[in-house]
Amino acid sequence: MKSLNIVDYADEHSDFRKTEFPARHIYERLLPEVVQTHSNIFYHRASPYSGQGKPTTDRTLGDIHQWNVWHGSQEPWHNWDILAGRHAFMCGRQGYPDIRTVDYWLGGDVSERFPQSRTNNNHNKADGFERRLELYLMENFKHAFDMESYVYYTQIMQAETLASAYRLWRRNWAGRGKEYTAGALVWQINDCWPVTSWAIVDYFLRPKPAYFSIARELRTFTVGMTRKEKTTFANDRSAADFTIESVLEIWGTNSTLSEKHATLEVTSFDLESDWTDNWAKQVILTANSSTELFKGKVPGQPERKKLSEVPKVIIVSARLLDGQTVLARYSNWPEPFKYIHFPPVKDVGLEVEVDKDKETVTLSTKKPVKGIVLDVEGDQVEWSDQAIDLVPGDPQIIKAKGLKGGEKKVKAFSPTTMSATTTPNESPIGTPIQPLHNPSLAAQVVVPQAPLGSVANQAPGMGAKALLAKKMAKNHNPAYISPTDNLMTPVTQKLNAARKKHFTNISKWITEGHDSCPMCRRFLVEVQGSNDVDNTEERDDHNLAEELEAALSRLRQLREENGIPGPNDIVNGLFISPSASRTEDEYDDRAQYSGMYS
């Protein structure tokens, strides 16, 4: 409504009943007065709402709806810390529900059991959800398209996104005078019908992995990490020589009203070797605040001097310990995950053991494992945790209500299990690791019989490019316009805007009558009679000399008529301060055409 000039946020005193938005009187005058008169409850006028004449996008007052991850500019979820507000009232990310819920709405129709089916699309009412889901999946994961895999990857992506938001925003509650983010609410808790949505619990109250990842970030004590690349150039006049170092930052949070003494233990692993590193130190977590604990290089990660140098796959695990009690844990993996070559299952050493009470599951591993989601065949089990990052030397205990004495086979889904070509022997209390897709069902790629673009063999070994060109030429219909022709990613929109600005400025420069090139400042010299010259004919040296002399004569004439300095004057001017001969505005007359320069 602000864009429609219906609401003036700076107006706090008018009689809103006489404006084009009279209902504002109810929200901002009537209801606050009723609440204040009859209770001691704090009343927040609206959401989003900043107050004090500020727009609802203000990040320092009131609350903000932050949808630039998923909607809006579709930012990476790693940018949540700079996409913060005084109170982040709304944020979210879609993820498929439990596979049992998907099978419920499919109603046994196996032909529709794939992500892009009509039935699955009808059970997602978000505008543009296909593009948004796939954009973030392709940017971050090496994923598959069978139903189980797609469910898993959208769920783990939702879990990573929302956990990152809570983790980074809790860091922003940094103590007196630095309460940059005071709270957050996720969109949304549950669904009102079986559907793929932003909910963290589906219609049948089956929690998604995001439910557990958020719960971990809301515990009394938490530990968080970020990993960022810092590029340092050898000098400020060249981009040729530089170094890239990976910088690790670690912080802890404490939501109690008393400071907490703890031990910070940091262990690092190289996923592609047996290298490890471990260190620990005593820390004090400030009461009701986040506390910065460490900033330095990622252990084991060498500096790089070329963009082509591939960084090591270093996983950093941090724990906050109170004696032998684990207060908090978090593992930081290099991202995007799609670049990681996960080791074969046989080399990971992942074990899932059911304890004697028949409802406690212990997870352990010999190699770091990312994003474990536990499941069983048949009826669902109530798990105490999901979306688990597991590292060697730090076994995790999960409660499994409804496991029925270990009679059910526990399956562990993770990106690591995707590389499996075989499944270990299953047993009621063993470690059956379920591959998320069967490699034998992968699409078969037919290699063209002729090189791409070759037209030597017109059939059947015609090159793919030639075939496509022939087909397009045959079926070309200039009247047809695809609905997606004008769809662009935010990055493409920015690039197109820059190009448009560039060419607009060039046109403006020419139409304003400038007699020199805006890039190199050479004069635009018109050679008399040049339009009459046939460039296809050979010219003798005599004619060329005459034309050159005519052009030089014309150049000298233009220079004298306009009072433009000659070559000697230009050379002398190189050693004179510009301010001695021109004003700053005269010397910088190309500033308005900045769009033409890099």
Number of domains present in the structure of the chain: 4
Residue with more model confidence, 102 or 68: 102
Q: Are residues 226 and 295 in the same domain?
A: yes
Give the residue, 2 or 119, on which the prediction is more confident.
Answer: 119
Judge whether residue 533 has pLDDT over 60: no
Domain boundary among 419, 446, 468: 419
Q: Is 426 exposed, middle or buried (0-12, 13-18, 19+ CB in 10 A)?
A: middle
**pLDDT, tens digit, 9 for 90 and up, residues 263-322:** 999 999 999 999 999 999 999 999 999 999 999 999 999 999 999 999 999 999 999 999
Scored b (16 or more CB within 10 A) or e, 255-278 reads: beeeebebebbbbbbbbeeeeeee
**Does 517 reside within a domain?**
no
Residue 525 located in a structural domain: no
Q: Is residue 499 part of a domain?
A: no
Do the domain assignments include residue 82? yes
Radius of gyration of the CA atoms of the chain, in A: 32
pLDDT tier, 71 (very low <50, low <70, confident <90, very high otherwise): confident
Residue 481 lies in a domain: no
Report pLDDT for 517.
63
Is 135 within the bounds of a domain?
A: yes
The count of residues in the chain is 598
How much is the pLDDT for 52? Answer: 77
Residues 377 and 326 in one domain: no
Lowest mean pLDDT of 101-115, 220-234, 553-567, name the range.
553-567
With respect to residue 186, please indicate whether it lies within any of the assigned structural domains.
yes
Report the helix count and the strand count for the chain, using DSSP H and E: 14, 17
**Is 213 found in the same domain as 78?**
yes
Residue 432 pLDDT more than 50? no
Domain with residue 81: its CATH number is 3.20.20.80
Q: Are 209 and 93 in contact (CB under 8 A)?
A: no
Do 76 and 208 lie in one domain? The reply is yes
Q: Is the dihedral of CA 530, 534, 536, 540 positive or negative?
A: negative
Based on the fold, state whether residues 87 and 198 are members of the same structural domain: yes
360 and 308 within one domain: no
Residues 70 and 193 in one domain: yes
HSE, CB side, 13 Å, CA atoms: give it for residue 27.
13
Task: Report pLDDT digits (tens) over 377-429.
Answer: 877 789 999 999 999 999 999 999 988 765 566 777 777 665 433 233 333 33
Question: What's the number of CA atoms in the CB half-sphere (13 Å) around residue 277?
Answer: 12
Residue 55: pLDDT over 90: no
Tokens of 246: 């990976």
Average pLDDT taken over every residue of the chain: 78
Sequence-ordered list of residues with C-beta below 8 angstroms from that of 76, at least 6 positions apart, any chain: 69, 139
pTM over the 0.85 mark? no
How many whole angstroms separate alpha carbon 120 and alpha carbon 546?
Answer: 77
Q: Which of 385, 419, 453 is the last residue of a domain?
A: 419
Question: In this structure, what CATH number is given to the domain that contains residue 388?
Answer: 2.60.40.10
Domain assignment present for 574 = no
pLDDT tens-digit readout, 18-47:
888 888 899 888 999 999 999 999 888 778
Query: Based on the domain organization, do 39 and 61 belong to the same domain?
Result: no
Q: How many CB atoms lie within 10 A of CB 46?
A: 13
Sign, Cα dihedral of 292, 298, 304, 307: negative
Domain span holding position 390: 345-419
Domain boundary among 390, 419, 448: 419
Nearest-5° angle of CA 397, CA 163, CA 57? 165
- Are 175 and 304 found together in one domain? no
- Say if residue 393 is in the same domain as residue 280: no
Q: Verify that 370 and 381 share a domain, yes or no.
A: yes
Reported as a single tens digit per residue, the pLDDT across 73-88 is: 778 888 878 788 888 8
Do 65 and 206 share a domain, yes or no? yes
